Amino acid sequence: MLGYVIRRLLTAIPTLFLIVTIAFFLIRIAPGGPFNQERGLNPMVKANLERLYRLDEPLWRQYLHYLGDLLQGNLGPSYNLPDFTVADLFRVGLPVSMELGSMALIFALVAGGALGIVAALYQNKAGDYAVVALATAGSTVPNFVVAPLYQLVFALTLNLVPVAGWGGGSFANKIGPVLTLALPQLAVVARLMRGSMIEALRSHHVRTARALGLSDTTVVLKHALRGAVLPIVSYAGPAAASLLTGSIIVESIFAIPGIGRYFIEAALNRDYTLVMGTVVVIAVFIILFNLLVDLLYAALDPRVRYD
């Protein structure tokens, strides 16, 4: 198993290199630059800034400089927030995004998994139809619709929660962002669990367990769930990476100081280093979580071996 982990980490290096390369050149294809403003800077000031950040050098040389800094763990300075480096911004924003994302992921996995099991046990009945309807609504209604509706109803009309803001990490401020982030994931998890649980309940070993007189609870939790949860584990890897690194739309609507909001501001202002830093962090999370998913597969399914 250790050899497999080492091989996966080694193969992740060219993948990360390719992602960084593509992102580096794509963002520079877009028109404009970090020091292009509506009124425009003094040409001498702009030239000095570009010289300071090496933007006056050929693109290939800028690329080599960035790779060299990245290999040393240096994500560079922020062009539009000159008092901070990209690492400084992530040091503040990433824990916030990870806290929101982890809460949303746990809620989506637990609630979605439970709803999927209920739908499978009551297939083609009222409970099943209700879960399918909820999952369809959750997967079709976008975040930028759910978030304002939540603010309008629960914050502005009922005055139960704050409209937006982090509030020092208070629970009331987290409810809206967590629910908004979790709803699409909950819908997908519920549908995946429903389908896989129906298939698991029809498998031979589950029928044998029922024939032996085991209770429905034991059959579902001890025999059917272990096989049914595998598609959920596969989906949870990229979903976790996406949630833990923040949601651009949700953090912007709720004014959450996470890296998602930094990313959209950086993209609008052509803050190259901040955009690249966000891409690198998300790519690393995706690679690590996909590796974790493969290891969980081996732990849950005895047929899977990586020796």
Domains of the chain, residue spans: 86-300
Q: Which residue has the tokens 């879960």?
A: 131
Over 60: is that where the pLDDT of 38 sits?
A: no
How do residues 213-250 score in pLDDT, each as one tens digit? 777 777 777 777 777 787 888 788 778 877 766 577 88
Q: 95 is written with which tokens?
A: 């824990």
Secondary structure class of 85 (helix, strand, coil): strand
pTM above 0.85, yes or no: no
Q: 198 is written with which tokens?
A: 């129906």
- Cα(113)–Cα(232) distance, rounded to whole angstroms? 8
Q: 214 burial class (0-12, 13-18, 19+ CB within 10 angstroms)? A: middle
**What are the φ and ψ backbone dihedral angles of 39, each rounded to 5 degrees?**
-80, -25
Cα 156 to Cα 81, 160, 163, 251, 254, distances in angstroms: 33, 8, 7, 19, 13
- Cα(126)–Cα(132) distance, rounded to whole angstroms? 10
Over 80: is that where the pLDDT of 34 sits?
A: no
Residues whose CB is less than 8 angstroms from the CB of residue 101 and which lie 6 or more positions away in sequence, other chains included: 181, 240, 242, 243, 244, 245, 246, 247
| pLDDT of the residue at 39 | 54
How do residues 66-124 score in pLDDT, each as one tens digit? 888 888 888 888 887 778 888 888 888 888 888 888 899 899 999 988 898 888 888 88
* Maximal C-alpha separation, the chain: 85
Q: 291 and 306 in contact (C-beta within 8 Å)?
A: no
CATH topology of domain 86-300: MetI-like fold (1.10.3720)
Q: 120 and 193 in contact (C-beta within 8 Å)?
A: yes
Q: 245 and 97 in contact (C-beta within 8 Å)?
A: yes
| pLDDT of the residue at 21 | 92
Please enumerate, as own/partner, the contacts of 22-26 that have beta carbons within 8 Å and a separation of 24 or more.
Answer: 23/275, 23/276, 23/279, 24/63, 24/66, 24/276, 25/59, 25/63
Cα 235 to Cα 155, 189, 288, distances in angstroms: 33, 8, 14
Q: Which band of pLDDT confidence, cut at 50, 70 and 90, is reported for residue 306?
A: low
